[in-house]
Amino acid sequence: MYEGLFAEPLDETELKKIPVPPPGEWANQIYCHTAEDMRHIPDNSIGLAVTSPPYNANKDYDDDLSLTEYLGLISRVGAEVYRVLRPGGRYAVNIANLGRKPYIPMNAFFYQAHIALGFLPMGEIIWQKAKGASGSTAWGSWLNAKAPRLRDLHEYVLIFAKQSFSRPDKGESDISQEEFMAATLSVWEIAPESAKRVGHPAPFPVALVERLIRLYSYRGDVVLDPFMGSGTTAVAAAGCGRGYVGYEVNEDYVELAEKRLE
């Protein structure tokens, strides 16, 4: 049924033949540089990548790209992430769907882009940010079937793997039974981060990143964020006993991230 749809996973014997370099001077750094060229990081060296790409929705840190241009950027960055991930490494990508007329299924476009690069889809997390009446105002036709609008209270975290659905190496996991049971559910209810408190227009919650890190990586792994923003992934990685490395083109956000790590 699925033959030809995805890249063929490698078996464990093949995976173990691929050299994995240890962390070097490139680790625990945030580079003010585009992630389209992660020249600082050697091949097959990253255990986990976690990111929340700019939404391309007129945020002050993102160019107003067309959808085609934006997805081209995502694909170029994704190709570099694939290169630097170690065999069995994972890539967790947070994305929200956009628009009302039409509604733009960004998660579908992201699946297409990353599967085309050779990534193996592992699953999808629904990040439920709130309950009840909070969320953007988008009722459309009020109390009328003419044109009601849905108000998004969730985003997605897409999980991809490189070459294998399992890690061929052994390492130290540090997730409790309670955390594991919650993390392996497909819906995560985690409050969003305050943009005003962090100083970034779309901050990623530390709690969300910490859960991803403990579920999908070992202690001592290096966690990559190709769109580092305010440094949430680095803060979470350091707090979980992992190394970090990131890329961010905005100098102000690089400085903010470094301050959060002090």
User: According to the model, what pLDDT value does residue 194 have?
Assistant: 64
**Residue-wise pLDDT tens digits, 105-119:** 999 999 999 999 999
Which has the higher per-residue pLDDT, 101 or 75?
Answer: 75
Taking the whole predicted model, whether its pTM rises above 0.75 is answered as yes
Angle at 22 between CA 16 and CA 23, to 5 degrees: 140
pLDDT over 90 (residue 44)? yes
Query: Percent of the chain, pLDDT > 90?
Result: 72
pLDDT over 90 (residue 227)? yes
Domain boundaries, the chain: 26-260
Asked if 59 and 201 count as a contact pair (C-beta separation under 8 A), the reply is yes
pLDDT over 60 (residue 59)? no
Specify the range with the lowest mean pLDDT, choosing from 66-70, 143-147, 196-200: 196-200
Mean pLDDT of 47-69: 75
Task: Identify the DSSP state of 51.
Answer: E
What count of other Cβ atoms lies within 10 Å of the Cβ of residue 185? 10
CATH number of this structure's domain 26-260, picked from the four choices 3.40.50.300, 1.10.10.60, 3.40.50.150, 1.10.10.10: 3.40.50.150
DSSP alpha helix (H) spans, the chain: 12-16, 67-84, 106-116, 177-183, 195-198, 206-216, 232-239, 251-260
Asked if 177 and 138 count as a contact pair (C-beta separation under 8 A), the reply is no
Take residue 26 and report the two structure tokens written for it. 């490139």
Mean pLDDT of 196-204: 56
Q: How far, in Å, CA of 128 to CA of 262, rounded?
A: 30
Q: How far, in Å, CA of 114 to CA of 110, rounded?
A: 6
Mean pLDDT of 193-205: 61
Cα→Cα distances 175→16, 101, 212, Å: 25, 42, 10
Positive or negative: CA dihedral 246, 179, 182, 136: negative
Task: Name the band, by pLDDT with cuts 50, 70 and 90, for residue 81.
Answer: very high
Which has the higher per-residue pLDDT, 136 or 51?
Answer: 51
